[in-house]
Amino acid sequence: MALPFYIYAQLPSTPGTKATVEASPAAIAGSKENPEAVARGSALFKDKCGSCHGMTAKGTNKAPDLVRSLLVLDDEKGLLIAPVIRNGHKNMPSFGLTEPQIADIVAWMHAQTYAADHRNTYLFLDALTGDPKKGEAYFNGAGGCNKCHSAAGDLKGIGAKFDAHTLQGRWLQPRSGRGATSKSPVTALITLPDGKKVEGVLERYDDFTVSVRDAAGEYHSYNRNNGVPKVEVKDPVRIHTDMLRKYTDSDIHNVTAYLASLK
Protein backbone atom coordinates (compact mmCIF):
# COMPACT_ATOMS: atom_id res chain seq x y z
CA MET A 1 0.00 0.00 0.00
CA ALA A 2 1.25 3.48 -0.80
CA LEU A 3 2.14 5.49 2.26
CA PRO A 4 -0.53 8.08 3.01
CA PHE A 5 0.81 11.38 1.78
CA TYR A 6 -0.97 13.33 4.50
CA ILE A 7 -0.13 12.37 8.04
CA TYR A 8 -1.16 14.13 11.19
CA ALA A 9 1.55 13.85 13.80
CA GLN A 10 0.11 12.93 17.19
CA LEU A 11 1.38 14.90 20.14
CA PRO A 12 1.18 13.51 23.63
CA SER A 13 -1.79 15.14 25.26
CA THR A 14 -0.85 17.56 27.98
CA PRO A 15 -3.06 18.19 30.98
CA GLY A 16 -4.98 21.43 30.55
CA THR A 17 -4.80 21.34 26.77
CA LYS A 18 -7.51 19.83 24.64
CA ALA A 19 -6.12 19.58 21.13
CA THR A 20 -3.90 16.70 20.11
CA VAL A 21 -2.99 17.26 16.49
CA GLU A 22 -0.34 19.28 14.81
CA ALA A 23 -0.01 20.18 11.14
CA SER A 24 1.36 17.27 9.13
CA PRO A 25 4.36 17.62 6.80
CA ALA A 26 1.92 17.78 3.90
CA ALA A 27 -0.13 20.51 5.54
CA ILE A 28 3.07 22.45 6.19
CA ALA A 29 4.00 22.05 2.54
CA GLY A 30 0.50 23.22 1.61
CA SER A 31 0.86 26.29 3.83
CA LYS A 32 4.05 27.19 1.92
CA GLU A 33 5.87 27.92 5.19
CA ASN A 34 9.47 26.79 5.59
CA PRO A 35 9.33 23.39 7.36
CA GLU A 36 12.45 24.14 9.43
CA ALA A 37 11.02 27.43 10.65
CA VAL A 38 7.76 25.64 11.45
CA ALA A 39 9.61 22.98 13.45
CA ARG A 40 11.48 25.61 15.47
CA GLY A 41 8.27 27.57 15.93
CA SER A 42 6.50 24.45 17.14
CA ALA A 43 9.08 23.87 19.87
CA LEU A 44 9.05 27.52 20.92
CA PHE A 45 5.27 27.62 20.98
CA LYS A 46 5.05 24.56 23.22
CA ASP A 47 7.63 26.04 25.54
CA LYS A 48 6.34 29.62 25.79
CA CYS A 49 2.71 29.62 24.71
CA GLY A 50 1.26 26.13 25.02
CA SER A 51 0.52 26.36 28.73
CA CYS A 52 -2.10 29.03 28.01
CA HIS A 53 -3.11 28.53 24.37
CA GLY A 54 -2.82 24.74 24.29
CA MET A 55 -0.03 22.74 22.69
CA THR A 56 -1.65 22.91 19.26
CA ALA A 57 -2.97 26.46 19.76
CA LYS A 58 -6.59 25.35 19.97
CA GLY A 59 -7.11 27.20 23.24
CA THR A 60 -7.62 26.36 26.91
CA ASN A 61 -9.62 28.04 29.63
CA LYS A 62 -6.66 30.39 30.11
CA ALA A 63 -6.30 31.76 26.59
CA PRO A 64 -8.19 31.72 23.29
CA ASP A 65 -8.00 29.37 20.33
CA LEU A 66 -5.44 30.88 17.97
CA VAL A 67 -6.20 28.52 15.10
CA ARG A 68 -9.65 30.07 14.82
CA SER A 69 -8.51 33.57 15.78
CA LEU A 70 -9.40 36.12 13.14
CA LEU A 71 -6.22 37.95 13.90
CA VAL A 72 -4.23 34.84 13.00
CA LEU A 73 -6.38 33.95 9.99
CA ASP A 74 -6.07 37.47 8.61
CA ASP A 75 -2.38 37.59 9.26
CA GLU A 76 0.09 37.83 6.44
CA LYS A 77 3.79 37.55 7.10
CA GLY A 78 3.26 38.12 10.82
CA LEU A 79 2.19 41.75 10.47
CA LEU A 80 -0.69 41.25 12.91
CA ILE A 81 0.63 38.46 15.12
CA ALA A 82 4.20 39.64 15.65
CA PRO A 83 3.30 42.81 17.59
CA VAL A 84 1.16 40.77 19.98
CA ILE A 85 4.04 38.39 20.65
CA ARG A 86 6.61 41.21 20.78
CA ASN A 87 4.67 43.46 23.14
CA GLY A 88 2.30 41.14 24.97
CA HIS A 89 -1.38 41.84 25.19
CA LYS A 90 -3.88 42.69 27.93
CA ASN A 91 -3.59 39.46 29.93
CA MET A 92 -0.59 38.07 28.13
CA PRO A 93 3.03 38.77 28.98
CA SER A 94 5.71 39.63 26.44
CA PHE A 95 8.46 37.05 26.29
CA GLY A 96 11.60 38.85 25.23
CA LEU A 97 11.76 36.70 22.08
CA THR A 98 14.07 37.64 19.23
CA GLU A 99 12.63 38.64 15.86
CA PRO A 100 13.72 35.34 14.20
CA GLN A 101 12.05 33.41 17.03
CA ILE A 102 8.87 35.42 16.56
CA ALA A 103 9.00 34.71 12.81
CA ASP A 104 9.31 30.97 13.53
CA ILE A 105 6.27 31.00 15.81
CA VAL A 106 4.32 32.91 13.17
CA ALA A 107 5.31 30.31 10.54
CA TRP A 108 4.10 27.51 12.80
CA MET A 109 0.80 29.28 13.51
CA HIS A 110 0.17 29.72 9.80
CA ALA A 111 0.79 26.01 9.24
CA GLN A 112 -1.69 25.18 12.04
CA THR A 113 -4.35 27.43 10.54
CA TYR A 114 -3.82 25.94 7.12
CA ALA A 115 -4.10 22.40 8.50
CA ALA A 116 -7.33 23.25 10.34
CA ASP A 117 -8.87 24.71 7.17
CA HIS A 118 -8.06 21.56 5.26
CA ARG A 119 -9.05 19.19 8.04
CA ASN A 120 -11.43 17.09 5.98
CA THR A 121 -8.97 16.60 3.15
CA TYR A 122 -6.34 15.25 5.52
CA LEU A 123 -8.84 13.17 7.45
CA PHE A 124 -9.99 11.34 4.37
CA LEU A 125 -6.56 10.77 2.94
CA ASP A 126 -5.39 9.61 6.29
CA ALA A 127 -8.10 7.12 7.09
CA LEU A 128 -6.06 4.17 8.28
CA THR A 129 -3.53 5.69 10.65
CA GLY A 130 -5.66 5.16 13.77
CA ASP A 131 -5.41 2.65 16.59
CA PRO A 132 -8.17 -0.01 16.36
CA LYS A 133 -8.03 -0.80 20.10
CA LYS A 134 -8.67 2.82 21.00
CA GLY A 135 -11.36 2.92 18.35
CA GLU A 136 -13.06 -0.07 19.95
CA ALA A 137 -12.92 1.57 23.37
CA TYR A 138 -14.45 4.73 21.91
CA PHE A 139 -17.12 2.73 20.07
CA ASN A 140 -18.23 1.05 23.30
CA GLY A 141 -17.53 4.00 25.57
CA ALA A 142 -17.45 7.74 24.96
CA GLY A 143 -18.77 7.44 21.39
CA GLY A 144 -21.87 5.51 22.44
CA CYS A 145 -21.94 3.73 19.07
CA ASN A 146 -22.87 0.45 20.76
CA LYS A 147 -26.26 1.91 21.71
CA CYS A 148 -27.32 1.33 18.10
CA HIS A 149 -24.65 -0.88 16.53
CA SER A 150 -22.74 -4.03 17.31
CA ALA A 151 -19.51 -5.41 15.87
CA ALA A 152 -20.98 -8.93 15.85
CA GLY A 153 -24.37 -7.78 14.53
CA ASP A 154 -25.20 -5.09 11.99
CA LEU A 155 -21.58 -4.02 11.47
CA LYS A 156 -20.21 -7.55 11.18
CA GLY A 157 -17.82 -7.76 8.25
CA ILE A 158 -18.13 -4.06 7.40
CA GLY A 159 -14.35 -3.77 7.13
CA ALA A 160 -14.35 -6.26 4.27
CA LYS A 161 -17.14 -4.51 2.40
CA PHE A 162 -15.57 -1.09 1.93
CA ASP A 163 -12.16 0.43 1.43
CA ALA A 164 -11.02 2.69 4.27
CA HIS A 165 -12.08 5.97 2.71
CA THR A 166 -15.55 4.75 1.82
CA LEU A 167 -15.91 3.23 5.26
CA GLN A 168 -14.95 6.49 6.93
CA GLY A 169 -17.49 8.33 4.79
CA ARG A 170 -20.22 5.85 5.70
CA TRP A 171 -19.96 6.39 9.41
CA LEU A 172 -19.00 10.08 9.44
CA GLN A 173 -21.78 11.16 7.11
CA PRO A 174 -24.18 8.31 6.38
CA ARG A 175 -26.33 10.54 4.19
CA SER A 176 -23.65 12.26 2.17
CA GLY A 177 -22.50 11.14 -1.27
CA ARG A 178 -19.90 8.78 0.10
CA GLY A 179 -22.23 7.08 2.53
CA ALA A 180 -25.73 7.49 1.11
CA THR A 181 -28.02 5.20 3.05
CA SER A 182 -31.42 4.11 1.79
CA LYS A 183 -32.15 1.55 4.49
CA SER A 184 -32.96 4.18 7.09
CA PRO A 185 -34.95 6.91 5.37
CA VAL A 186 -36.16 10.09 7.01
CA THR A 187 -39.78 9.68 8.10
CA ALA A 188 -42.41 12.09 9.36
CA LEU A 189 -45.37 11.78 11.69
CA ILE A 190 -48.11 14.21 10.65
CA THR A 191 -50.88 15.11 13.08
CA LEU A 192 -53.89 16.55 11.25
CA PRO A 193 -56.13 19.20 12.89
CA ASP A 194 -58.79 16.53 13.62
CA GLY A 195 -56.19 14.46 15.53
CA LYS A 196 -55.71 11.86 12.80
CA LYS A 197 -52.08 10.75 12.41
CA VAL A 198 -50.30 9.81 9.19
CA GLU A 199 -46.77 8.47 9.14
CA GLY A 200 -44.47 7.67 6.26
CA VAL A 201 -41.24 8.26 4.41
CA LEU A 202 -40.77 11.99 3.94
CA GLU A 203 -40.90 13.04 0.31
CA ARG A 204 -41.28 16.78 0.59
CA TYR A 205 -41.29 19.20 3.49
CA ASP A 206 -41.28 22.97 3.45
CA ASP A 207 -43.27 25.86 4.94
CA PHE A 208 -46.19 25.22 2.57
CA THR A 209 -46.37 21.47 1.96
CA VAL A 210 -45.63 18.17 3.61
CA SER A 211 -45.77 14.89 1.68
CA VAL A 212 -45.11 11.34 2.83
CA ARG A 213 -45.47 7.85 1.42
CA ASP A 214 -46.91 5.45 4.00
CA ALA A 215 -46.02 1.80 4.62
CA ALA A 216 -48.69 0.67 2.14
CA GLY A 217 -47.05 2.81 -0.54
CA GLU A 218 -49.82 5.41 -0.52
CA TYR A 219 -48.91 9.06 -1.08
CA HIS A 220 -50.29 11.75 1.29
CA SER A 221 -49.76 15.43 0.75
CA TYR A 222 -51.02 18.36 2.86
CA ASN A 223 -50.83 22.09 2.59
CA ARG A 224 -49.30 23.70 5.66
CA ASN A 225 -50.37 26.95 7.20
CA ASN A 226 -48.75 28.48 10.28
CA GLY A 227 -47.29 25.14 11.32
CA VAL A 228 -50.59 23.21 10.82
CA PRO A 229 -50.68 20.25 10.43
CA LYS A 230 -48.00 19.44 12.97
CA VAL A 231 -45.01 17.54 11.55
CA GLU A 232 -42.46 15.53 13.54
CA VAL A 233 -39.48 14.57 11.43
CA LYS A 234 -37.49 11.50 12.45
CA ASP A 235 -34.07 10.94 10.98
CA PRO A 236 -32.51 7.72 12.31
CA VAL A 237 -29.01 8.81 11.28
CA ARG A 238 -29.36 12.36 12.57
CA ILE A 239 -27.21 11.35 15.53
CA HIS A 240 -24.28 10.95 13.15
CA THR A 241 -24.55 14.54 11.97
CA ASP A 242 -24.87 15.77 15.55
CA MET A 243 -21.80 13.84 16.61
CA LEU A 244 -19.69 15.17 13.74
CA ARG A 245 -18.82 18.25 15.75
CA LYS A 246 -17.74 16.25 18.80
CA TYR A 247 -15.09 13.87 17.47
CA THR A 248 -11.44 14.76 17.64
CA ASP A 249 -9.28 13.83 14.65
CA SER A 250 -7.86 10.93 16.66
CA ASP A 251 -11.34 9.62 17.51
CA ILE A 252 -12.14 9.62 13.81
CA HIS A 253 -8.97 7.78 12.80
CA ASN A 254 -9.27 5.28 15.64
CA VAL A 255 -12.90 4.42 14.94
CA THR A 256 -12.24 3.98 11.22
CA ALA A 257 -9.28 1.70 12.00
CA TYR A 258 -11.51 -0.31 14.33
CA LEU A 259 -14.33 -0.64 11.80
CA ALA A 260 -11.80 -1.61 9.13
CA SER A 261 -10.67 -4.47 11.40
CA LEU A 262 -14.20 -5.98 11.47
CA LYS A 263 -13.66 -8.48 8.69
- Footprint on this chain of ligand HEC (rule: CB under 6 A): 48-49, 51-53, 62-64, 66, 69, 71-72, 81, 84-85, 89-92, 95, 105, 139, 143-145, 147-149, 155, 158, 170-171, 174, 181, 183-184, 236-237, 239-240, 243, 255, 259
- Residue 230 or 234: the one with the smaller Cβ distance to ligand HEC is 234
The number of residues in the chain equals 263
> Smallest Cα–Cα separation from 225: which of 195, 252, 249, 193?
193
> Smallest Cα–Cα separation from 145: which of 263, 245, 243, 262?
243
> Smallest Cα–Cα separation from 82: which of 67, 63, 95, 68?
95
- Residue 93 or 193: the one with the smaller Cβ distance to ligand HEC is 93
- Residue 158 or 188: the one with the smaller Cβ distance to ligand HEC is 158
Distance of alpha carbon 32 from alpha carbon 205, whole angstroms: 46
Instruction: Provide CB contacts within 8 A for 4, sequence distance 6+.
Output: 125, 126, 127, 128, 129
Least Cβ distance, residue 139 to ligand HEC (angstroms): 6
Least Cβ distance, residue 153 to ligand HEC (angstroms): 11
- Residue 19 or 259: the one with the smaller Cβ distance to ligand HEC is 259
CA-atom Rg of the chain in angstroms: 24
- Residue 26 or 151: the one with the smaller Cβ distance to ligand HEC is 151
Least Cβ distance, residue 239 to ligand HEC (angstroms): 4
Least Cβ distance, residue 167 to ligand HEC (angstroms): 7
Least Cβ distance, residue 119 to ligand HEC (angstroms): 17
> Smallest Cα–Cα separation from 58: which of 74, 75, 72, 76?
72
Could you tell me if 198 and 190 are in contact, meaning their C-beta atoms sit under 8 angstroms apart?
yes
Least Cβ distance, residue 111 to ligand HEC (angstroms): 13
Distance of alpha carbon 235 from alpha carbon 249, whole angstroms: 25
Least Cβ distance, residue 24 to ligand HEC (angstroms): 21
Distance of CA 209 to CAs 97, 203, 226, Å? 63, 10, 11
- Residue 141 or 193: the one with the smaller Cβ distance to ligand HEC is 141
- Residue 151 or 210: the one with the smaller Cβ distance to ligand HEC is 151
